[in-house]
A and B are shown apart, each in its own frame.
Chain A
Amino acid sequence: MNPTLSIFYFLSFLTVLSALMVVFSRSPIHSVLYLILTFFCLTGHYILLNAQFLAAVNIIVYAGAIMVLFLFVIMFLNMKKEDEEAKTNLTKIAAMIVAGTLFVILFGAYRKSIIGAYNPYEYNSQVGMVESLGAVLFRDYLLPFELASVLFLIAMTGAVMLGRREVGERHF
């Protein structure tokens, strides 16, 4: 087994483990911290794929900015154990059946499918570099790239509109 492959397996194991811990840990703070770990592991995968730019962006945007925001929100919410909504057994059983069925179906689908392999001699190892990424983003994907700004503009307008304080409203 060559070193790249062993690093890949180690990273994958760590990713799956920390992703599972996000779901299983009781405290929301721990969940967020495990989610940060998951993002770091994904960044490792990006580096293995020779996509340095995506790796850097993933660290800065997801593991950095967004997760810090998550942490702040959770600290502001001040969640306590007893606030947890009590779920009936029926809900739990139904959720388990649905999730289990989905798992079995997806597992079966993966097992029975032949995933297309690439030819290592023809594969362009520079495909993940920032140069080819920029070329794709600003030529082939120009329209969705520009229109994503409309999405952000809507979200921003909405946030300002809904967050604006009205006359006579309670001031905290």
Chain B
Amino acid sequence: MYPIILLSVLGIVVLFLGFMKSKNILLPATLLFLALALGSNFIDWNQGPLLYFYGMFSVTNLTLAFNAIVLISAFLIVAMTRGFQDDEEAQPAEYYGIMLFSLVGAIMIIGYEHLIIFFVGIEILSVAMYILTGSDKRNLRSNEASLKYFLMGAFATGIMLFGIALLYGATGAFSLTGIRGFVSTAAGAQSYILYAGLLLLLIGMLFKVSAAPFHFWTPDVYDGAPSIFTTFMSTIVKTAGFAAIFRLLSHSFAGIYDFWYITLAVITVLTLFVGNVVAVYQDSFKRMMAYSSISHAGYLLIALTALTAQTERSILFYSMAYSVATISAFGVLMLIAKEKSLDGRPNESYDAFNGLAKQNPLLAFVLTVSMLSLAGIPLTAGFWGKFFVFSSAADRGLIWMLVVAVLMSAVGIYYYFRVVIASYMKEGNTGKIRVAPFYQIVLVAATVITILFGLAPGFFEQLL
């Protein structure tokens, strides 16, 4: 609750700081504000389930942990921006302000107790992403990506709103508890309008986390957006989005599991298949990361489809592992793409990584660890993330889905290792890349977290 209020106010403060002549204060101020929000997040820690504002917003240890992942990811990403000093056309005050505001939306959809809060939250998050996608105004691909994302996102919002309206028509309630009350009655379990509403709402939500067959915007948008905002999109929006879907399904619709699990299972398998198989054919590292984010949405959907008592923890651990690995991968990509730029545009193909390890062993190591984590190799956090997700599916007896998931992880190893092979084995003439000290700290911190949780996943359980 407290981070919502703090971030709304501090976002305005950042916008006002933009009036100052010197832009140097913006980065430290934003980092300080994010740290403040993270600190205020833990005021409610272990206070038990709390409801704020007449049952609109709920706080539990689980939602606080999700908030912490989102805020820490944002902290790492903002630290990597280096104040946008390299880009003279950048408008850092607006970027930072919008990023802080979008976190308000993310926290709202993590802890919503009422569908209105969910709707406003997801709109705050989406509108901020449409703008940040198009922030590179002179790049035609950024413009195209922004427009495409906006039009499709607006359509998905319409579908989602229609679903919420049908749910209200069927149950007479907007609150998750009210809907659960209706679902548990005999009439509720047979209400077809409820089914239609749930499906439409799910379609809208799955669009936002880019599950197939609603994934068509993802590659273009992730590819066209400036890399720093792609990182923001693929970590924060995904974490918050899955927390929101989990909340809806577990709190309100666990009673009609038999109805929705078939739909979700089909979508899961399709997402895994599309994400992993198409990623193999990409030549650009950034585009591969876009498809990889689709495939990780698939793994997270396995945990949702299973919906056991372990699901919340496995989603939490998985999104943490995925966010950290993605941030360090994009961090390395941004450095190299800038170093090897072609015609003034960043070069994001696999070839840019050739021979990286010779002069920049640290960058190559960071990249390798993040790729290992994304591929799910043991001794990294990504392995345990996949392990928890798969074990919750096994508890539910979804063996056929596990077979598909394991096969697709094997496909994943191929494309994640391509860039590792390029940086260690191939010949190339990458000079020594100068890494700013702060940037280096972020990369090392992300790598240490990945390895630490890979060695001792039980540590995470104790934190919760």
Contacts and interface: CB of A to CB of B under 8 A. Distances in A.
Given A112-B192, A158-B130, A153 B135 contact: no
B101 to A, nearest CB: 5
Nearest to A105: B196
B193 A147 contact: no
B329 to A, nearest CB: 27
Nearest to B121: A147
A154 B102 contact: yes
Contacts of B195: 109
Interface size class of B (residues with CB under 8 A): 35 or more
A147 B8 contact: yes
B97 interface: yes
B69 interface: no
A90 interface: no
Given A139-B54, A158-B98, A114 B187 contact: yes
A162 interface: yes
A143 B192 contact: no
A166 interface: yes
A52 B68 CA distance: 45
Contact of A150 (B94, B104, B170): B104
A109 B53 contact: no
Interface in A140-160: 140-144, 147-148, 150-151, 153-155, 157-158, 160
B193 to A, nearest CB: 4
Contacts of B130: 158
Nearest to B170: A113
A86 interface: no
A61 B94 CA distance: 28
Contacts, number: 92
A77 to B, nearest CB: 14
Given A151-B124, A153-B12, A113 B193 contact: yes
A172 interface: no
A120 interface: no
B124 A166 contact: no
B53 A157 contact: no
Interface string B89-103: 101001001100110
Nearest to A151: B124
Contacts of A150: 8, 11, 101, 104-105, 124
Nearest to A149: B8
Interface in B1-59: 4, 8, 11-12, 15, 52-54, 56-57
Interface in A39-83: none
Contact of B135 (A109, A155, A161): A161
Given A113-B192, A161-B91, A166-B89, A143 B52 contact: yes
Interface of A is mostly: helix
A108 B193 CA distance: 9
Contact of B124 (A110, A140, A154): A154
Given A114-B187, A157-B97, A158-B98, A144 B56 contact: yes
B160 interface: no
Main secondary structure on B side of the interface with A: helix
A106 interface: yes
A144 B54 contact: no
A141 B21 CA distance: 40
B127 A154 contact: yes
A153 B8 CA distance: 10
B7 to A, nearest CB: 9
A166 B87 CA distance: 13
Contacts of A5: none
Contacts of A115: 169, 193
Nearest to A114: B187
A142 to B, nearest CB: 6
Contacts of A142: 53-54
A3 interface: no
Nearest to A155: B127
A99 B237 CA distance: 29
Interface string A112-140: 11111000000000000000000000011
B172 interface: yes
B275 to A, nearest CB: 23
Contacts of B127: 151, 154-155, 158
Nearest to B119: A144
A151 B98 contact: no
B123 interface: yes
A152 to B, nearest CB: 9
B116 A144 contact: yes
Nearest to A110: B193
20 contacts: A106-B196, A109-B195, A109-B196, A113-B191, A114-B187, A115-B193, A116-B172, A140-B56, A141-B116, A142-B54, A151-B120, A151-B123, A151-B127, A154-B102, A154-B131, A155-B127, A157-B98, A161-B94, A164-B91, A166-B89
Given A108-B192, A157-B131, A166-B89, 17 more contacts: A105-B196, A110-B193, A112-B192, A141-B116, A143-B56, A143-B57, A144-B120, A147-B4, A147-B8, A147-B108, A147-B117, A150-B124, A153-B11, A161-B91, A162-B131, A162-B135, A162-B137
Interface of B: 4, 8, 11-12, 15, 52-54, 56-57, 89, 91, 94, 97-98, 101-102, 104-105, 108, 114, 116-117, 120-121, 123-124, 127-128, 130-131, 134-135, 137-138, 169-170, 172, 187, 191-193, 195-196
Give the 10 A-B residue pairs with the shortest CB-CB distance, closest first. Answer: A158-B131, A109-B192, A143-B53, A109-B196, A113-B193, A161-B94, A112-B192, A143-B56, A144-B116, A140-B54
